[in-house]
């Protein structure tokens, strides 16, 4: 009897770890899935409500209609063409904004004189909501690409500028001293100490800059464009096609997320050392 | 030979941190520098390293004037100061950037083995314990084969056991190439275990107050009577250095002078 109890106990003890790892694996998969429960439920419920005829779904189309609109837009090539146009604008604005912000931010972070010279003006400009520039940009640059790209670049500029400046200022002086003790030249100091030290904050700055870039491309296109995802939004509004609007919104979300993910992916190999901290 | 000739340092804020320090250190000698807090030990070490050159006087290494970091001089700080984005091997090889890759890898491997961390080569600095990280820092400073190695309270952040362990280890490593060691410490035992000569400094401005030769055979027994004898002499010199420096300015500080040493 005692022997039997003991073997059972032993078996149970042996079973526990296996069960626990299985449960852990499940939990790891389930945790992100939990976030899907709400949107999926809402979508299914709304689809059901419209199918049953309890609501017309004219102003808020059900998922199936949006999907159909997506397919139609893709089949006609409108989706791809407009997405590419918007993507091109973001790329151009982001590129210009990042380039200028990196140079100015690095200079201001490195040299107190330049910081005192530039930073107050830039901080003042930052207080202006970027959209407020639009009329001026249109007057100066016309209603076509140049004014849109400038607006995006301005939106991208500020977070990247602040991020770069802050990152350079907060580089650990003690690590710079290690570089000095090993007699690094200025170029080596930048390459072997400053760049790696600044990179994590820079990637974060780039990602928030990109987020603003997407925000401002939508604003710029809504204010007047003949193509682009923002144009689809306008078109859907004017023709009373909510499905087209939602399809454009979804396209914005997908492409925006994808570009953000690309930056994260490109930076990941250089930031592996950071992961060690995050895991703790 | 390392020669300091009337080395003085006045910081831009007017603090007169060093007031004419003259010392000669033979190649391979181990010198410990000890003294109350703020008496200019770190300032002296930084002047020798060239990181923060003296405002007056000269530091000569083999006749060459040191006014900027020099390839023959290595330095180990109180914190390991490893670069977090380089793995252990990358940190150890940091000072060999100008060498061919193969040579670098070989020297890093032998040095890592020498400090007993061969198995940690592929780890990130954050994955090391405090003692392991400081050993990596020691390896990093040793890899370029310096003639003079400066250490500013290198073990003060470690627990007592790790500290004695690393003291013994440092002596062991020193025996390989016998560089000149200049070690700043707050720990009298540490100074006596390691050094051939203990220099006691006094503050405002920092000067050499006394020098005590440690003529004990190595390895030194921290419990022996001879050790204790030297220790008493060093402690007495320390006490005098603190009271003499403090007495004219402030009478009551005299009583607490002994305690002040430890901070
Ligand atoms: N960068 C600096 N600028 C101005 N004054 C400084 C600077 N560094 C040190 N001092 C001053 O110089 C004096 C000597 O400082 P130092 O750091 O050399 O002392 P220390 O002997 O190393 O002290 P501790 O044992 O606490 O490390 C102190 O009075 C300190 O305030
Ligand atoms: Mg100090």
Is A174 within 8 Å of B83 when comparing Cβ atoms?
A: no
Asked whether residue A61 carries a pLDDT value surpassing 50, the answer given is yes
Give CB contacts under 8 A, 24+ apart, made by B244-251.
Answer: B244/B202, B244/B209, B245/B36, B245/B39, B245/B202, B245/B203, B245/B204, B249/B204
Going from N- to C-terminal start, the domains of chain B cover 1-25+39-69+197-210+241-258, 71-179
Q: Comparing B247 with A71, which gets the higher pLDDT?
A: A71
- Pocket perturbation via mutation, ligand 1, pick of B18, B19, B43 by most ligand atoms within 8 A of CB: B43
List, chain by chain if needed, residues with CB within 6 Å of any ligand 1 atom. Answer: B 11, 13, 15, 17, 37-43
A196 touches chain B (CB under 8 A): yes
Q: Report the share of chain A in percent with pLDDT over 70.
A: 91
Q: Which ligand is nearest to the CA of B40?
A: 1
pLDDT at B225: 87
pLDDT at A18: 60
User: Among A216, A226, A231, A252, which Cα is nearest to A131's?
Assistant: A216
Q: Comparing A15 with A42, which gets the higher pLDDT?
A: A42
A99 touches chain B (CB under 8 A): no
Number of neighbouring beta carbons within 10 Å of residue A69: 22
Mutation target among A176, A178, A181 for the B interface, most CBs of B within 10 A: A181
Instruction: Write the residue in A181, A192, A199 that is nearest to B51 by C-beta.
Output: A181
Asked whether residue A34 carries a pLDDT value surpassing 50, the answer given is yes
The alpha carbon of residue A190 is apart from the nearest alpha carbon of chain B, in Å, by 14
Asked whether residue A10 carries a pLDDT value surpassing 70, the answer given is no
Locate the chain A residue with the closest alpha carbon to B98: A184
Q: Which ligand is nearest to the CA of B260?
A: 1
Task: Please give the CATH number for the structural domain made up of B71-179.
Answer: 3.40.50.300
What's the rounded Cα separation, in Å, for the pair A163 and A168?
9
Q: Report the share of chain A in percent with pLDDT over 90.
A: 46
pLDDT at B252: 41
Residue pLDDT, tens place only, B88-127 = 999 999 988 788 888 888 889 988 888 888 888 888 998 8
Locate the chain A residue with the closest alpha carbon to B86: A273
At a CB cut-off of 8 Å and minimum separation 6, what does A226 contact?
Answer: none
Domains B1-25+39-69+197-210+241-258 and B71-179 share a fold: yes
Q: Please give the structure tokens belonging to residue B225.
A: 């009577």
Strands B73-76 and B30-35 come out as unpaired
Q: How confident is the model at residue A32 (pLDDT cuts 50, 70, 90)?
A: confident
A19-43 average pLDDT score: 80
Asked whether residue A163 carries a pLDDT value surpassing 90, the answer given is yes
pLDDT at A17: 56
Is B85 within 8 Å of A181 when comparing Cβ atoms?
A: no
What are the pLDDT tens digits along chain B (263 aa)?
A: 888 888 899 999 988 888 888 999 999 899 999 988 888 899 999 999 999 998 888 898 888 888 889 889 999 998 999 999 999 999 999 988 788 888 888 889 988 888 888 888 888 998 888 888 988 998 899 888 899 999 999 888 888 888 888 888 888 888 888 899 999 999 999 999 999 999 999 888 888 988 988 888 888 888 888 888 888 888 888 888 887 554 444 434 444 444 444 44
Chain B positions in Cβ-Cβ contact with residue A270 (cut-off 8 Å): 85
**Closest atom of ligand 1 to CA, residue B11:** 4
pLDDT at B75: 93
Q: Which ligand is nearest to the CA of B203?
A: 1
Domains and CATH numbers, chain A: 1-60 (no CATH), 73-279 (1.10.3720.10)
A210-239 average pLDDT score: 89
pLDDT at B163: 85
Is the ipTM beyond the 0.85 threshold?
no
> What DSSP element (H or E) covers B19?
strand B16-25
Q: A28 vs A19, A32, B78, CA distance in Å?
A: 14, 8, 42
Given this structure, which CATH class describes domain B1-25+39-69+197-210+241-258? alpha beta
């Amino acid at each position: 009897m005692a022997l039997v109890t003991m073997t059972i106990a032993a078996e149970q003890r042996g079973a526990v770890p296996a069960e626990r790892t299985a449960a852990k694996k499940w939990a790891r998969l389930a945790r992100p899935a939990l976030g899907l429960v709400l949107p999926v439920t809402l979508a299914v419920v709304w689809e059901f409500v419209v199918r049953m005829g309890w609501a017309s779904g004219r102003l808020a189309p059900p998922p199936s209609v949006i999907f159909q609109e997506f397919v139609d837009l893709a089949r006609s090539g409108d989706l791809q063409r407009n997405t590419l146009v918007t993507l091109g604008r973001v790329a151009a604005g982001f590129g210009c904004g990042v380039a200028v912000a990196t140079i100015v931010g690095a200079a201001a972070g490195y040299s107190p004189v330049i910081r005192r010279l530039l930073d107050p003006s830039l901080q003042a400009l930052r207080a202006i909501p970027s959209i407020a520039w639009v009329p001026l940009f249109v007057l100066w640059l016309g209603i076509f690409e140049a004014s849109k790209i400038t607006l995006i670049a301005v939106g991208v500029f500020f977070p990247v500028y602040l991020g770069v400046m802050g990152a350079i200022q907060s580089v650990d002086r003690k690590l710079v001293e290690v570089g000095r003790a090993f007699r690094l030249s200025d170029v080596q100091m930048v390459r072997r100490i400053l760049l790696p030290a600044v990179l994590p904050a820079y990637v974060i700055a780039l990602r928030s800059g990109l987020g603003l870039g997407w925000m401002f491309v939508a604003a710029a296109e809504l204010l007047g464009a003949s193509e682009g995802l923002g144009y689809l939004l306008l078109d859907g509004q004017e023709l009373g096609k909510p499905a087209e609007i939602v399809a454009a919104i979804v396209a914005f979300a997908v492409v925006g997320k994808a570009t953000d993910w690309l930056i994260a992916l490109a930076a990941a190999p250089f930031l592996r050392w950071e992961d060690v901290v995050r895991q703790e | 030979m390392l020669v300091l000739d009337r080395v003085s340092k006045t910081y831009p804020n007017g603090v007169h941190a060093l007031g004419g320090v003259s010392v000669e250190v033979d190649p391979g000698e181990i010198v410990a520098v000890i003294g109350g807090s703020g008496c200019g030990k770190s300032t002296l070490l930084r002047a020798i390293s060239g990181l923060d050159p003296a405002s007056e006087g000269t530091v000569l290494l083999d006749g060459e004037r040191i006014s900027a970091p020099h390839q023959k001089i290595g330095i180990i700080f109180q914190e390991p100061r490893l670069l977090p984005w380089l793995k252990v091997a990358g940190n150890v090889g940091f000072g060999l950037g100008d060498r061919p890759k193969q040579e670098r890898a070989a020297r890093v491997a032998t040095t890592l083995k020498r400090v007993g961390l061969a198995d940690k080569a592929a780890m990130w600095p954050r994955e090391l314990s405090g003692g392991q990280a400081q050993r990596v820092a020691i390896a990093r400073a040793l890899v370029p084969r310096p003639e003079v190695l400066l250490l500013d309270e290198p073990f003060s952040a470690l627990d007592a056991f790790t500290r004695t362990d690393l003291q013994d280890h440092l002596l062991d490593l020193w025996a390989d190439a016998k560089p000149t060691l200049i070690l700043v410490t707050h720990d009298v035992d540490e100074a006596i275990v390691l050094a051939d000569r203990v220099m006691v400094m006094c503050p405002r401005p920092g000067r050499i107050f006394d020098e005590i030769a440690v003529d004990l055979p190595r390895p030194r027994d921290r419990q022996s009577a001879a050790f204790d004898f030297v220790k008493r002499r060093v402690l007495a010199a320390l006490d005098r250095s603190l009271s003499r420096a403090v007495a004219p300015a402030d009478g009551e500080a005299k009583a607490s002078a002994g305690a002040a040493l430890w901070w």
